[in-house]
Chain A
Amino acid sequence: MRGAAMISTSDSRSESSALGRRFAAVRDEIDAPEDDGWLELALFGGTTRLGRYELGPRIGAGGFGVVFAGFDPALGRSVAIKLLRRRRTRADVTAWMLREARAISGVRHPNVVQVFDVGIAEQGMFLVMELVHGVPLSTWVRRPHALGDSIAVLARAAEGLIAVHAHGLLHCDVKPANVLVDDVGAVKIVDFGLAELVAAAADDTQEDDGRRPQRVGGTSRYMSPEQRRGEEIDGRSDVFAFATMACEVLAPHFARGMPRALTRVLERGRADERERRWPSVEPLLVALRRAAIPRRRLGPVAIAAATSAWLMAASTARGDACTTAAAALAEANTVDASAALRAAGVDPAIDPRGRDWLAAWHTTRRAACSVEPSARAGIDACLDDELTLFGALAASFVARQVHPAEARSQLSELEDPRRCAMAPAATTVAIDVELADRIARAQAHLFADDVDALVEDVAVVGADPQADAPDVAARLGLWRARIARHDGRDADTREALEAAFRAARVARQDAMGHRSAVELAAWHAWVGGDLDLARLWLRSAEAIAPDGLGPIGLARRRRVEVSIAQRAADHDRCVAQARVALADLELAGLGATPLGLTLANDAAECELLSGRHDDALASADAIVARFESESAAWSMRGVVEAHLLVARVHADRDLPALARAALDGARARLEAGDDPTMLPQLWNSLGQLAALSGDGDAAVAAYGHALAALPRWAVADRGLTGLNLAAALVHLGRADDAELALARAEVLLASSLGDQHPWTAHATDARAGIAGLRDDPAARLTLLVAAARDFERHFGSASPHTVAAWADVAEARDAQAAHSRRSRVPARRRR
């Protein structure tokens, strides 16, 4: 009875639950339309037939439709069946598609996937093709390959393309995802002509005589300019796409930039005007083969070779403590390291940082020989771990062809091996060799910021029974935090970092404790918005900083100080701290590293925010001059950022022509590097420029693009972009839209930047604009005054923002006076 009474009470309560009702209402709203049969096909394809073919499991999907494994009972062979998404299609277009598909099936070449048959079924049009077991080139390039292999794969793809062209057909969609490579290096190009078929299936509204639908337009970065514009195309469009793909495949082989000859060949393939391109694929292929002569690589390779020699010696010594190791490595370390390296076939011109580290490691190893055997176990384990990590790093440099500056930066994160002699108890937990190796690789992935690889590492290491050991747990925490940060799971990031910190304290692993504390400080500064907590964590990081903390570790901590100053809108402090941190990095020879570049951009940004335009310009120019010729992704991003900063300075100064020039510089770099992560910033800057030159529609569109390109977790950036959008909408007179955009931006900004940041001034300013549009001059004036005060508080009275804001206030006072005069007049008349 009691239960029944409770239920009825709850029922009446549920009626009153506002949130519950709202969720229920929205649930109907977001319920998606019923599946139109695709799910059925994709999951249960095995029981269905398409024409005479039996459908097996789905093996792929994309913008075009679904691919199934299939079986042709008539010929008893396995096939792949590609089903194009069903659309309402006019009969004449369908006829054209069928003719086109039959032409495609006429091409036979070892590097082209054979199309056996085409047909129309109830679900749509389908193509029956040869079943290929391979991975797309886009996946293949992620694994390390010799340059010769990459050239060979490109050459085979080119030969396939030549065969397609010889049949009078075009591919129209050449890209790495459409080139399959199998285990033995066989190459097949797929989906040629399909882009046009899909476009025809999707668009049957145009007037056409049934011969050829409108050309495919689009935005793929592989598309030639004429194809993007939807103009008539020829084989040179495929040349353009192929050259773009070749750039991507070959670029990873040249960390210091491509040889000039190769660049020239590829640039000619990618010329904007097709008359200047290679006339067809053949001459491009010949030139490509000639230009891509392998270059000798030094630094990282030498380190890796040296390391493997060390590791081999160390592993043979495992049974017999350190004396054997000392003997095995005697020459390398007591006589002449360079001679030993040469003897091992290695160029001695290796990075001095790596050599110094190895020397320190060996000194410690030798010293350990005089320690009591019982006390030596901890030292040995620690030294083994450190050397394994060194080896993993060196191996990853080689595998990824890491830029030398980046390699230097990562090497300097290694702990000083001499610490093993000082605090051996910290690492006495013995873990087996395989796990230690995996841990070392994961740590190298963390240094290289390779999140995909880390996800796999965490799965393996986390499942190991030894994962509970404190030093393993500490590392796991740091890796999990990195992944969670990447996924945008803020709470998990913090939890993982705190767990890492606790475990590191237990294990007395100060370097890891330091790093966790620094990252926690950064978390509180950027995500939690609690600057006091951020400072506390920084202080605790300082307190436990290990003696051998390298310059990069120190600079990382200082970068958080810079961020805190930036967050607190203390721009002078921000500039000063960034400069100090940068100077120390330069002293250590690490100025030209990702962190150094970030700090340089931080300093320039804070100079801009504090209104020191000339300083900001000088800093940005220095960044561009120093890094312009580098080709690594991080240096490219840094240079683009500097260009964008210059554009913002000029925009702030009302000099649109100069801003436009800086943006063109940024765009040129972006196009050269094809790096999508900077796109939102570029769009944002284009929006600002459009707003400046009075083109509100263009500004709104640009900010829309920026918002669409920003990932979900870039909360502050989404908020700031939204703020720009709101301002642009105000200028267009769209009060309602502006208000909605502003409200959204405020939510994002309040939760990311807090309310002690100058965004509040800009938001108040936009709100004033909305009040103006709503014909409420009194509210507008009040808000403008508040905004001007806010600007003054953040930027000082002389900054352009503040001056402009007070000018608006003066203008609004006049307007309000006029308004009240107008509204008083009819009142008197009524009396």
Chain B
Amino acid sequence: MNDLELLQAWRAGDAIAGRELVRHHQACVRRMFVNKVGDAVDDLVQRTFLACLAHVDRMTDATRFRAYLLRTARNELYLHFRERHGPRGRVDAMTTSVHELAPSPSRERSELRRRDLLLFALQTLPLDLQLALELHYWEALRGPELAIVLGIPEGTVRSRLRLAKDRLRTTLARLGDAEPIVGGDFDDWADGLRRRRSAVS
């Protein structure tokens, strides 16, 4: 069964199919929320799957299931922010906080800091640019899929990614990031990855 068939079976009451689907996709949905929402991750993952289940009829193309799923996750993410930050909502503690600055043993410091910097630099990007980069590199999403998740025309995916990389590069440089990032090779790398994936599938 493909993913869409699993979802349909789950909708029809087949919990085994549902479990398989969730096991298969849980990690990437989780990653989508982890460095953005603090302690609401569990809840958002649940909400994402439940929303997918509710809207199974809107999905037509089984090969695009993951894109639909991640798009739903993005919608839930924005919904969450609106709930938290709405005029009547409460202010959320999702931004950098002082505990991240707690001193750490010096031998780990530089490595930790490098990782920390990339995550922080990502968080300074507008949310959709952050999502674009993370989905591109972590989930290896291709152009058409990214277009679905981000809700933009396919033709603008490349320029969106380029913009995101430029902003990330600038930010990392401003943060005093030590490792020089050679310009120009990301797209080749990403292209290679894409081709490899399509050759496999």
Which residues of A are interface residues toward B (Cβ below 8 A)?
Answer: 3, 6-7, 9-11, 13-14, 16-20, 22-27, 29-32, 35, 38-40, 42-44, 46-47, 58, 61, 142, 449-452, 455, 486-492, 676-677, 679-680, 700-701, 703-704, 707-712, 715, 718, 722, 725, 729, 734, 736-737, 740-741, 743-744, 746-748, 750-751
Complex-state Cα separation, A487 to B82, whole angstroms: 7
How far apart are the CA atoms of A452 and B129 in the complex, in Å?
24
**Quick one: which of A142, A715, A736 contacts B88, CB cutoff 8 A?**
A142
What residues of chain A lie closer than 8 Å to B49, measured between beta carbons? 43
**Can you name the residue of chain A whose Cβ is closest to the Cβ of B124?**
A747
B161 → chain A closest CB, angstroms = 11
Q: Which of B110-127 contact A (CB under 8 A)?
A: 113-115, 118-121, 123-124, 126-127
Measured CA separation A53–B46 after assembly (Å) = 22
Tell whether, in the assembled complex, residue B15 and residue A44 are in contact, meaning their CB atoms are under 8 Å apart: yes
Q: Which of A17, A23, A61 contacts B185 (CB 8 A)?
A: A17
Q: Is the CB of A746 within 8 A of B174?
A: yes
Q: Does B191 contact A (CB under 8 A)?
A: yes
Residue B59 CB within 8 A of the other chain = no
Q: List 28 A-B contacts (CB under 8 A).
A: A3-B199, A6-B192, A7-B192, A7-B195, A11-B192, A13-B189, A14-B192, A18-B185, A19-B168, A20-B189, A20-B190, A23-B118, A23-B133, A29-B119, A35-B26, A43-B18, A43-B50, A450-B87, A451-B86, A452-B86, A452-B88, A487-B78, A488-B127, A679-B91, A710-B91, A722-B96, A729-B101, A748-B124
A704 to B186, CA, bound (A): 36
- Do residues A736 and B109 form an inter-chain contact, with CB atoms below 8 A? yes
Binds A, one of B1-9, B35-43, B63-71, B141-149: B35-43
> In the complex the two chains form, is B186's CB within 8 Å of A676's CB?
no
Question: Is B96 a contact of A707 with CB atoms below 8 Å?
Answer: yes
Q: Is the CB of A708 within 8 A of B93?
A: yes
Number of A-B contacts (CB under 8 A): 198
Please indicate the chain B residues that have their CB under 8 angstroms from the CB of A31 in the complex.
27, 30-31, 34
**How many Å from the CB of B196 to the closest CB on chain A?**
6
Contacts of B191 in A (CB 8 A): 10
Find out whether the CB atom of A737 lies under 8 angstroms from the CB atom of B174: no
> Contact between B93 and A709 (Cβ–Cβ < 8 Å)?
yes
Q: Are B85 and A10 closer than 8 Å at their CB atoms?
A: no
- Decide yes or no whether B176 CB sits under 8 A from chain A: yes
Give min CB distance, A600 to chain B, whole Å. 22
Residues of A contacting B97 in the complex (Cβ-Cβ under 8 angstroms): 704, 707-708
- 4 cross-chain pairs, A with B, having the tightest CB-CB distances, nearest first: A10-B192, A704-B98, A17-B189, A23-B137
Name 4 extra pairs, CB < 8 A, besides A43-B50, A710-B91, A711-B91. A18-B181, A39-B22, A718-B95, A725-B101
Cross-chain contact A676 with B192 (CB below 8 angstroms): no
Report which of A6, A44, A452, A722 forms a contact with B19, defined as CB distance below 8 A: A44
| Chain A nearest Cβ from B80, distance in angstroms | 11
In the complex, what residues of A have CB within 8 A of residue B85's CB?
486, 711
Task: Report Cα–Cα, A188/B98, bound state, in Å.
Answer: 41
Within 8 A of A (CB), among B153-188: 165, 168, 171, 174-176, 179-182, 185-186, 188
The closest CB in chain A to the CB of B92 belongs to: A711
The CA-CA distance from A773 to B41 in the complex, in Å, is 40
Alpha-carbon separation in the docked complex, A712 to B126 (Å): 9
Q: Which residues from B are CB-within-8-Å of A492?
A: 128
Contact of A16 among B45, B129, B185, B196 (CB under 8 A): B185
* Interface status of B58 (Cβ within 8 A of chain A): no
The reply to whether B103 and A10 contact each other, CB–CB distance below 8 Å, is: no
* Contact pick for A486, options B27, B34, B82, B138, CB 8 Å: B82
- Output the least CB separation between A450 and chain B (Å): 7
User: Cα distance A711–B22 when bound, in Å?
Assistant: 31
Q: Is the CB of B193 within 8 A of A14?
A: yes
**How distant is the Cα of A722 from the Cα of B94 in the complex, in angstroms?**
15
| Selected contact of B128 from candidates A491, A729, A746, CB within 8 Å | A491
Q: A19, B101: Cβ atoms under 8 Å?
A: no
A747 and B115 contacting across the interface, CB-CB below 8 Å? no
